[in-house]
């Protein structure tokens, strides 16, 4: 399994996700600098969390127009799976691989804490390690995680089963009390129409080691690797 992690100035979860990928895939990922115009053969591309280009203009906006993202878009068009976590999700919406936008959190605060997520759809490879309706716990750490799209887009995402993760209470109830940042319809993670690109604000790579944070992310990476084989 060949995986790759895109690295921008300001990325700060690239090494964390590299460790998680190395464990799940059996070999370390290729780290690809943002100035690269070509990618090696890859079975999975990860756009990691962080503050690419200092979040200048809008979170992810500058990274979305970097040379390597052009190559990522070309590869995504051929069906290679792409996973964007946190800032990576912001980059994927800004470059047009995913619909909608991540706006500033409802309460204007940077939020860094564990949240409960309901796995809304486990039918796709990105959630192959979970079962539908399962509640998993992962940290979020963002200032712009408030998912917004127009009603027609939201209806389409829900109707087509493209919402994979929703913020919820510890009991798994999707309501406003379980919504940390004001995201429309509690959306925490979505896939594109062809089911090859996932963007999510929570960090599975930060709960992929029993000694660090938690273990709910281990099944995420293990399930994904199995599904990709």
Under the rule (CB under 8 A), what is the footprint of other proteins? 57-58, 61, 65, 93-94, 99-101, 103-108, 148-150, 182
Identify the residue whose tokens are 């940042």.
181
**Secondary structure E strands in 13-130:** 30-33, 44-47, 82-85, 101-103, 111-119
> Quick one: 3 or 93, whose CB is closer to other proteins?
93
Identify the residue whose tokens are 């509640």.
135
In the annotation, is 205 catalytic?
yes
Instruction: Output the smallest distance, CB 100 to other proteins, in A.
Output: 6
Identify the residue whose tokens are 């800032």.
87
Reduced to 3 states (helix: H, G, I; strand: E, B; else coil), residue 54 is helix
Instruction: Output the smallest distance, CB 223 to other proteins, in A.
Output: 31
In the annotation, is 86 catalytic?
yes
> Quick one: 63 or 140, whose CB is closer to other proteins?
63
> Quick one: 151 or 211, whose CB is closer to other proteins?
151
CA distance 144 to 214: 24
CA-nearest of 144, 224, 209 to 182 is 144
Catalytic residue among 86, 95, 144, 168: 86
Catalytic residue among 34, 95, 144, 205: 205
> Quick one: 167 or 220, whose CB is closer to other proteins?
167
In the annotation, is 65 catalytic?
no
Instruction: Output the smallest distance, CB 106 to other proteins, in A.
Output: 6
Helix runs in the chain, H state only: 14-25, 67-77, 87-94, 151-159, 216-228
81, 196 contact by CB (below 8 A)? yes
Instruction: Output the smallest distance, CB 196 to other proteins, in A.
Output: 21
- Residues catalogued as catalytic: 86, 203, 205
């Amino acid at each position: 399994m060949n995986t790759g992690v895109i690295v921008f100035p300001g990325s700060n979860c690239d090494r964390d996700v590299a460790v998680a990928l190395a464990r799940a895939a059996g070999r370390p990922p290729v780290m690809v600098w943002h100035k690269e115009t070509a990618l090696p053969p890859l079975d999975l591309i990860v756009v990691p969390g962080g503050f690419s280009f200092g979040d200048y203009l809008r979170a992810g906006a500058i990274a979305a127009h970097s040379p390597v993202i052009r190559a990522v878009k070309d590869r995504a068009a051929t069906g290679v799976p792409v996973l964007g976590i946190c800032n990576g999700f912001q980059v994927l919406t800004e470059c047009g691989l995913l619909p909608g936008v991540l706006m500033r959190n409802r309460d204007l605060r940077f939020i860094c804490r564990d949240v409960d997520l309901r796995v809304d759809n486990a039918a796709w490879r990105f959630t192959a390690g979970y079962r539908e309706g399962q509640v998993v716990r992962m940290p979020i750490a963002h200032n712009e995680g408030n998912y917004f799209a127009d009603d027609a887009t939201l209806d389409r995402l829900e109707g087509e089963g493209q919402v994979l993760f929703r913020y919820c209470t510890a009991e798994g109830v999707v309501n406003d009390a379980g919504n940390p940042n004001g995201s429309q319809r509690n959306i925490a993670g979505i896939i594109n129409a062809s089911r090859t690109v996932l963007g999510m604000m929570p960090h599975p790579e930060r709960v992929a080691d029993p000694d660090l944070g938690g273990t709910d992310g281990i099944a995420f990476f293990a399930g994904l690797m199995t599904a990709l084989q």
